[in-house]
Amino acid sequence: MHSGMRKAKKTLADQLAGGVNALRDLTGELADVLQSLSEGRPPRIDELTMPDVVGFFVDSKKTSPEAVAGVIIREREETRADKDEAAPQAEYLVHLFFLDNDGQPLTGDRHPRRAYLAGRLDEELARAFGTNNIVIFK
């Protein structure tokens, strides 16, 4: 019985340590995002996914009722290689914003927009772009 209690306590301790480590990682990521924003540059993320993009448009639509479409634009940027890598890594500068009824971007403080420097796009998002650099969500 004592060995079962030790195992249960160890598992709980492992879970707690894992949770603490996850919080540290998130805190570091949040600090990076806040620093990027304060410097006027988009935050770097490892991967941008279709659910991230759709979630942004759905959540942000409330503050831009005149928006008739959401737009995502990607620009491919080459970055220098890490010392362990032979070839440069590609990153994508991605912009998300809304369009009005005339097809003009909604700008200003009350209209949400977002930009990321993404290391990669998930398969669904990459497929939506295909060979184009713009996707319009209506």
More confidently predicted of 85 and 105: 105
pLDDT recorded at residue 10: 62
CA 107 to mean position of chain CA atoms = 21
Is residue 138 over pLDDT 70? yes
3-class DSSP state of 13: helix
Is residue 18 over pLDDT 90? no
- Under 8 Å between Cβ of 44 and 116: yes
Q: What H or E segment, with its residue span, contains residue 77?
A: strand 69-78
Per DSSP, 10 falls in state H
pLDDT recorded at residue 52: 96
Instruction: List, for residues 28-56, the tens digit of each pLDDT value.
Output: 544 444 444 444 668 999 999 999 999 99
Residue 73 pairs in a beta bridge with: 95, 134
Please state whether the predicted TM-score (pTM) of the whole model is above 0.85. no
Domains of the chain, residue spans: 1-41, 43-137
3-class DSSP state of 130: coil
Residue listed under structure tokens 């970055």: 79
End-to-end CA distance of the chain: 61
pLDDT recorded at residue 77: 76
